[in-house]
Chain A
Amino acid sequence: MSKNCQCGEDKVCQLDNVIKEHKNIAGALIPVLHEAQKIFGYLPMSVQKQISKGLNISLAEIYGVVTFYSEFSTEPKGEYQINVCLGTACYVKGANDILEQFKKQLKIDVGQTTSDNKFSINACRCVGACGLAPVVTINEEVYGKLVADDVKGILEKYQV
């Protein structure tokens, strides 16, 4: 997140406009959630409350939708999304050790984001690259046949 985006008010206004545009359209919730996620980077309670009020949909229903789709997140998302595949093939080849190593290096848990908003760790289902197991993707980049000792070096590439 860049510095000039820190103004909460601005984002609230932006979201308000999105809500207004969608207000009387059937099935508005999902597109509005997508826009909101773009604006805020994630969907905390305050954002979901604003949507709840604006679209007159209960917070319970909105939260249900947000947790149903994996593209929505209630936690802030880091600039770099680390996805550790925990599909069967990767798991058998030690993906869990890789995951543990990422957690140790970044001092966060799965689903969390580092305090500088740089990295998030996610555990994901099979990404279809079983030949490369164990596999980790960071944004668009794919890393295969990893061992735990590779993790430190990979992270250093992003820390500049």
Chain B
Amino acid sequence: MGKVNITIDGIDMKVPEDYSVLEAAREVGVDIPTLCYLKDINEIGACRMCLVEIKQARGLQASCVYPVSEGLDIITNSESIRKARKATLELILSNHDRSCLTCNRNNSCELQALSDRLNVRELRYEGEKTLYPLDLKSHSIVRDNNKCILCRRCISMCKNIQTVSVIDTTERGFYSNISSPFDLSLNDVPCISCGQCINVCPVNALREKDDTELVWDAINDKSKHVVVQTAPATRVAIGEEFGLPIGTRCTKNMVGALRRIGFDKVFDTDTGADLTIMEEGTELLHRLNNGGKLPMITSCSPGWVTFCEYNFPEFLDNLSTCKSPMQMFGAVLKTYYAKKTNINPADIIVVAVMPCIAKKAESKRPEMSVNGLADVDHVITTRELAKMIKEAGIDFHTISSDHYDDPMGDASGAGVIFGATGGVMEAAIRTVYEIVTKKPLDNLDIISVRGIKGIKEANVQIGDFTLKAAVASGTGNARKLLEMVKSGEKDYHFIEIMACPGGCVNGGGQPIQSSAVRSKYDLREERAKAIYAEDVKLSVRKSHENKLVQKLYKEFLGEPGGHKSHELLHTHYIDREKYPISQ
């Protein structure tokens, strides 16, 4: 990469030629304020907050989209710049529902932080305000356009990264707003509830549906036995809500806090993941040996499943019939566990803490129940759990507990790595290899499927059979991969797909980091490192060696893929029409 010489505020420097002025400035410690900018995702120069003077150009320029070039002379701090930035911000604030005190993003809002930083203490214009109704219809996501600042990050995410494209700017001028076609609710469009738009929204215009009150109610109801299960990716991210560095492992603090909150039992979804591997591995072998539909595609990510139902119905028979680990585990809790503990299943409330908002919608699918009881009653995100912990006055930093509760206790490392893209594939290979070859796998770390690349491929030798595998994360990458499979350009036996880029560690229910932090750190990478560190630490690292899973098959389920499994642990999918006219 070539370099160019530029001057920023009188400081001469050499920077890579593909830098923007904003990036160059950050390198010399000048933190130009931004609002719409989000590295690699939304670089459109819409908000004009990042204005600078450039000697070679007239007027003030948006630094986030201004490329550096040889000899560029830049001023980032002058009276006119300061005034222009402040005026821009005041204009945004004048048409904003400024209810910070009761706002879900109080203290994690980029607009709020910017107002403080630019020292806005009064508004000179109190303009007319547009008033929008809240979109509360979806099980997962709430849209509040009264808080929207039209930065368009959500659109870039939904359209360019996820290729779902259910939101865009509509109308114009004063009435310009972000909405779905025909102003339909996000519930009535082919939104997959991945929540990626929430994670990039700088304000509270998008958020998960808050289910914390339902969980408190359940805990306070003494007639109920309330159990909680936690997904793998939650433990490596929740610390961020308490100021810990990105990628801090907090399993013990989280388990301790959950117990203190008042859950009767604290279980690990990873056990459900181990169960999923047994079922899915068996299904894969069955398909391979009996001429079943290939490639088989994983079904743990409800965002991906919904994406497939709307966009690739021709692949529905390729989807594994396995329910997701969360749902499998819920079903086992309301049957096996209920029987073991002699508790009426109707009195068991299963709460799931997930890095995901699509899980909220998944738990409400009518198929996700056994004997009329939902497998999982309430789903809360990592963010919502952090709120409950704060509300309860628990000191997250000092509380600790060594282990999950018996009898559903400790899971394997294979279950943990479900949290990162490639993890399900790696876990499946660890088990399928040993089932087929009846020999222990020498090296459990299957590096070729790790890492944040959007599409990964691996050929895995299992005895004399070469398993052709592929992994995609982010539905945009899934679309690319499936188009290649469809056209015959690629051919695989087994594909893992996660709806969120990087997998669950970067799920739509995970702690939100600001644009500035996201410019510095790759959240996917930092959190995934913690996931693999957790795996290595565990004594059992293969699903089929999980003692509880073995017991479960012996005492209750019988064979993987057997009759009982099919009743409790498997599901089916629906070919969904986008925008049915009958609406």
Tell whether, in the assembled complex, residue B581 and residue A59 are in contact, meaning their CB atoms are under 8 Å apart: no
> CB-defined interface of B156-178 with A at 8 Å, one 1/0 digit per residue?
00010000011111111000000
> CB-defined interface of B432-456 with A at 8 Å, one 1/0 digit per residue?
0000000000000000000000000
> CB-defined interface of A48-72 with B at 8 Å, one 1/0 digit per residue?
1100000000111111100110000
Tell whether, in the assembled complex, residue B579 and residue A64 are in contact, meaning their CB atoms are under 8 Å apart: no
A60, A68, A74: the one contacting B180 at CB < 8 Å is A60
Tell whether, in the assembled complex, residue A64 and residue B578 are in contact, meaning their CB atoms are under 8 Å apart: no
Q: Complex formed: what's the CA distance from A113 to B54 in Å?
A: 53
Set of chain A residues within 8 Å of B578, measured between Cβ atoms: 49, 59
Q: Does B181 contact A (CB under 8 A)?
A: yes
Set of chain A residues within 8 Å of B581, measured between Cβ atoms: 45-46, 49
Tell whether, in the assembled complex, residue B171 and residue A58 are in contact, meaning their CB atoms are under 8 Å apart: no
Some 30 contacts from A to B, beta carbons below 8 A apart, are A45-B181, A45-B581, A46-B581, A48-B181, A49-B578, A49-B579, A58-B165, A58-B166, A58-B168, A59-B165, A59-B181, A60-B166, A60-B167, A60-B168, A60-B180, A60-B181, A60-B189, A61-B165, A61-B168, A62-B181, A63-B170, A63-B180, A63-B181, A63-B182, A64-B169, A67-B170, A67-B172, A68-B169, A68-B170, A68-B171
Specify the chain B residue showing the minimal Cβ separation from A57. B165
Q: How large is the interface on A (under 10, 10 to 19, 20 to 34, 35 or more residues)?
A: 10 to 19
Most chain B CB within 10 A, of A60, A64, A68, is at A60
Specify the chain B residue showing the minimal Cβ separation from A68. B172
Set of chain A residues within 8 Å of B182, measured between Cβ atoms: 45, 63, 74
Q: Complex formed: what's the CA distance from A61 to B189 in Å?
A: 13
Q: Complex formed: what's the CA distance from A53 to B225 in Å?
A: 50
List B residues 177-202 near A (Cβ within 8 Å).
180-182, 189
> CB-defined interface of B562-583 with A at 8 Å, one 1/0 digit per residue?
0000000000000000110100
Set of chain B residues within 8 Å of A58, measured between Cβ atoms: 159, 165-166, 168
Tell whether, in the assembled complex, residue B170 and residue A64 are in contact, meaning their CB atoms are under 8 Å apart: yes
Closest 9 interchain pairs by CB? A58-B165, A64-B168, A63-B181, A60-B168, A67-B170, A59-B181, A64-B170, A67-B171, A68-B172
Q: Complex formed: what's the CA distance from A111 to B92 in Å?
A: 29
Q: Complex formed: what's the CA distance from A133 to B474 in Å?
A: 57
Q: A45-B579, A60-B168 are in contact. List 17 more A-B contacts (CB 8 A).
A: A46-B581, A49-B578, A58-B159, A58-B166, A59-B165, A59-B181, A59-B578, A59-B579, A61-B159, A61-B165, A62-B181, A63-B170, A64-B168, A64-B169, A67-B171, A68-B172, A74-B182
Most chain A CB within 10 A, of B166, B167, B181, B578, is at B181
Set of chain A residues within 8 Å of B181, measured between Cβ atoms: 45, 48, 59-60, 62-63
Set of chain B residues within 8 Å of A67, measured between Cβ atoms: 170-172
Q: Complex formed: what's the CA distance from A63 to B165 in Å?
A: 12
Q: Complex formed: what's the CA distance from A74 to B181 in Å?
A: 11
Q: Complex formed: what's the CA distance from A156 to B578 in Å?
A: 45
Set of chain A residues within 8 Å of B169, measured between Cβ atoms: 64, 68
Q: Complex formed: what's the CA distance from A91 to B189 in Å?
A: 39
Specify the chain A residue showing the minimal Cβ separation from B181. A63
Q: Complex formed: what's the CA distance from A110 to B581 in Å?
A: 24
Q: Complex formed: what's the CA distance from A68 to B169 in Å?
A: 9
Set of chain A residues within 8 Å of B170, measured between Cβ atoms: 63-64, 67-68
Minimum CB–CB distance for B435 against chain A, Å: 43
Most chain B CB within 10 A, of A48, A49, A67, is at A67
Set of chain B residues within 8 Å of A60, measured between Cβ atoms: 159, 165-168, 180-181, 189
Specify the chain B residue showing the minimal Cβ separation from A53. B578
Minimum CB–CB distance for A69 against chain B, Å: 8
Specify the chain B residue showing the minimal Cβ separation from A64. B168
Tell whether, in the assembled complex, residue A63 and residue B168 are in contact, meaning their CB atoms are under 8 Å apart: yes
Minimum CB–CB distance for B12 against chain A, Å: 43
Set of chain B residues within 8 Å of A46, measured between Cβ atoms: 581
Minimum CB–CB distance for A139 against chain B, Å: 25
Q: Complex formed: what's the CA distance from A45 to B184 in Å?
A: 11
Set of chain B residues within 8 Å of A63, measured between Cβ atoms: 168, 170, 180-182
Specify the chain B residue showing the minimal Cβ separation from A66. B170
List A residues 80-131 near B (Cβ within 8 Å).
none
Q: Complex formed: what's the CA distance from A63 to B172 in Å?
A: 12
> CB-defined interface of B112-131 with A at 8 Å, one 1/0 digit per residue?
00000000000000000000
Q: Complex formed: what's the CA distance from A94 to B187 in Å?
A: 42
Set of chain B residues within 8 Å of A68, measured between Cβ atoms: 169-172
Minimum CB–CB distance for B141 against chain A, Å: 15
Set of chain A residues within 8 Å of B167, measured between Cβ atoms: 60
Specify the chain A residue showing the minimal Cβ separation from B165. A58
Q: Complex formed: what's the CA distance from A126 to B490 in Å?
A: 59
Minimum CB–CB distance for B581 against chain A, Å: 6
Q: Complex formed: what's the CA distance from A64 to B172 in Å?
A: 9
Specify the chain B residue showing the minimal Cβ separation from A62. B181
Specify the chain A residue showing the minimal Cβ separation from B581. A46
